[in-house]
């Protein structure tokens, strides 16, 4: 008999009737043995049922572990992809910031250069204005000095002293006395301006 064709349960063992025959087995011992076998089969059936339940529980746990393992693997793959995307994004943002910083620096440098050129032009203009001012001042001072020299060279009319001892002096209009010329030194501040 194969296992599929014959299923023996404790109830089957207890109800099985061996029949009676002449000089057969001791009925009491057969019943006792049958009860023992039925109890053992019942115990084995319970153990088998418990093992089936444990097996089902373990199979369920294994399935849950496999699902978790698959979820963890999927999460790991997603995390690696996300990390790669974040790194690429960070690289792109860093390159963008570098380009913007370089452009800002170039713009600032160009602004500074333009300001330096403007200041240099302004300084050159101030230098030219100073030269022009000093030249005009020199011309004016030279003209004033010439006028002073001319004024000093021109004698003032002086009335001659009379012999009458103290009445009004007589004027000799045909004769003029030359005034004594004294040198007037140029002030140092004016001299330094003229030399520039």
Give the per-residue SS3 of 92-154: HHHHHHHHHHHHHHHHHHHHHHHHHHHHHHHHHHHHHHHHHHHHHHHHHHHHHHHHHHHHHHC
Residue 145 has pLDDT above 80, yes or no: yes
- 86-141 pLDDT, tens digit per residue, is 999 999 999 999 999 999 999 999 999 999 999 999 999 999 999 999 999 999 99
What does pLDDT average to over the chain? Answer: 80
Query: Once rounded to an integer, what is the mean pLDDT over residues 149-167?
Result: 70
- 1-23 pLDDT, tens digit per residue, is 344 545 667 777 777 776 676 67
Residue 63 has pLDDT above 50, yes or no: yes
Residue 181 has pLDDT above 50, yes or no: no
Burial 137-168 (b: 16+ CB within 10 A, else e): eeeeeeeeeeeeeeeeeeeeeeeeeeeeeeee
Query: Once rounded to an integer, what is the mean pLDDT over residues 64-71?
Result: 92
Instruction: Report the pLDDT value the prediction gives residue 118, as an integer from 0 to 100.
Output: 93
Instruction: Report the pLDDT value the prediction gives residue 37, as an integer from 0 to 100.
Output: 85
Predicted TM-score of the model (pTM): 0.37
């Amino acid at each position: 008999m194969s296992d599929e064709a014959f299923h023996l349960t404790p109830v089957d063992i207890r109800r099985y009737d061996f029949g009676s025959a002449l000089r057969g087995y001791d009925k009491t011992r057969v019943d006792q043995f049958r009860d023992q076998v039925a109890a053992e089969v019942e115990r084995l059936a319970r153990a088998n049922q418990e093992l089936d339940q444990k097996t089902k529980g373990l199979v369920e746990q294994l399935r849950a572990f496999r699902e978790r393992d698959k979820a963890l693997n999927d999460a790991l793959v997603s995390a690696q992809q996300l990390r790669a995307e974040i790194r690429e994004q960070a690289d792109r943002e860093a390159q963008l910031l570098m380009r913007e910083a370089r452009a800002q620096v170039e713009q600032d440098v160009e602004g500074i250069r333009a300001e330096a050129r403007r200041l240099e032009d302004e300084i050159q203009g101030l230098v030219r204005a100073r030269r022009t001012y000093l030249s005009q001042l020199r011309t004016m001072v030279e003209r004033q000095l010439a006028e002073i020299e001319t004024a000093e060279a021109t004698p003032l009319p002086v009335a001659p002293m009379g012999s009458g001892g103290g009445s009004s002096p007589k004027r000799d209009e045909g004769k003029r006395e030359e005034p004594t010329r004294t040198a007037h030194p140029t002030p140092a501040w004016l001299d330094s301006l003229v030399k520039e």
